[in-house]
Amino acid sequence: MKKYLSFFKIRLINGLQYRAAAIAGMATQFFWGGMTLLMFWAFYQNGANEFPMTFPQLANYIWMQQAFLALYAAWSFDNDIFEAITSGNIAYELCRPVSIYTMWFVKNIAARYARMMLRCLPIFAVAVFLPVPFNLSAPVSLEAGLLFAVSLILGSLLAIAFVMLIYIATFYMLSSLGVRILFSSIVEFLSGAIIPIAFFPESVQKVLYLLPFAYTQNTPFQIYNGYLSGADAYQNILLQFVWLIALWLLGRLAMSRALKKVVVQGG
């Protein structure tokens, strides 16, 4: 276990170095969050009753999404890993007495949480003081707050379990670019990163809830703002857990198959 903690630590330290990138990212996220809210505000002016979420719920959703963007972004990959696979440097990683799957998983957790830590606090600090109803408010209840925390972590692990499958797919390809772009656009759409899943037509929602993507960012944010509560919230968290285990097992299986076929490039 200690060795994985060490990977976590060295990756975290590495990630915390990039302050300029964090500031630039934060500015983009404020702007993005603000524009999204204003756009929705324009729609809400014409009959707020026709929308599934109240405007304050939506504001909370959007600000949480911006603050925790780094945890769930489907387009955020660890370039070292692609580099290791395509350049053949994975040879060295394979010479270590560690499970490659676990090591990469841990590296991704560290990278995403490092980025998140640099960005979330300033976003909270500003979003809380925005005028009502554009502001970020406290969770609807203490229970919702606690469930949110659990769900936030499960959701982020689930997001990483997806990304792991993309890394593994790279073993079979010379360039990872195509699969990355395809994957991230689809997942962003299906996970409610572009518009919350609640805004999709009922029939589409039914399908989306059968897929794992709905259980990454949608679950924690909708628990936080009270859109999901009671039994629904617990059920969603359970499904997060089930999907996480399923994708983790699938990833491990795929990894061990890929490593058997691996051809280290060059040299």
Partner 1 sequence: MIELKNINKTFKIAKRNAGLNEALKALFKKEYTYIHALNDVSFQINDGEMVGYIGPNGAGKSSTIKIMSGILTPDSGECIINGRTPWKDRIDHVREIGVVFGQRSQLWWDVPVVDSFELIKDIYKVSDTAFKRNLDELTQLLDIGEIIRTPARQLSLGQRMRCEIAASLLHDPKILFLDEPTIGLDAVSKIAVRDFIKTINRERGTTVILTTHDMQDIEALTERILLIGKGRILLDGSLEELKRRNSTHKTLTVDYTGQLGTLEAGMHLQKNLDGHAVIVIDTAKIPVSAAIAAISKQAEVNDLSVTGATAEEMVVALYKEFQI
Binding footprint of partner 1 on the chain (CB under 8 A) = 2-3, 5-7, 10, 13-14, 17, 87-89, 91-92, 94-99, 260-264, 266-267
- Of the two residues 103 and 250, which places its CB atom closer to partner 1 in the complex? 103
Distance, C-alpha 163 to centroid of its chain: 10
Q: How far is the CB of 80 from partner 1 (least distance, A)?
A: 9
Distances (CA, A) of 107 to 56, 89, 184, 241, 251: 36, 16, 19, 21, 15
Q: How far is the CB of 110 from partner 1 (least distance, A)?
A: 13
- Omega before 133 cis (within 30°)? yes
Smallest distance from the beta carbon of 263 to partner 1, in angstroms? 7
* Nearest-angstrom CA–CA distance, 166 and 17: 26
User: Of 157, 17, 170, 162, which Cα lies nearest the Cα of 84?
Assistant: 170
- Residue nearer to partner 1 on the CB measure, 19 or 202: 19
Of the candidates 118, 106, 116, 108, the one whose C-alpha atom is nearest the C-alpha of residue 6 is 106
Closest approach of partner 1 to the CB of residue 8, in Å:
11
The DSSP code for 174 is: S
Nearer to partner 1 by Cβ, of 97 and 230: the residue is: 97
Of 170, 77, 144, 167, which Cα lies nearest the Cα of 115?
77
Kindly tell me which of 106 and 116 has the beta carbon lying closer to partner 1. Answer: 106
* C-beta of residue 158 within 8 angstroms of C-beta of residue 242: no
> What is the DSSP-derived secondary structure letter of residue 131?
P
Provide, rounded to whole angstroms, the least separation between the CB of residue 102 and partner 1.
11
* 4 or 209: CB nearest partner 1: 4
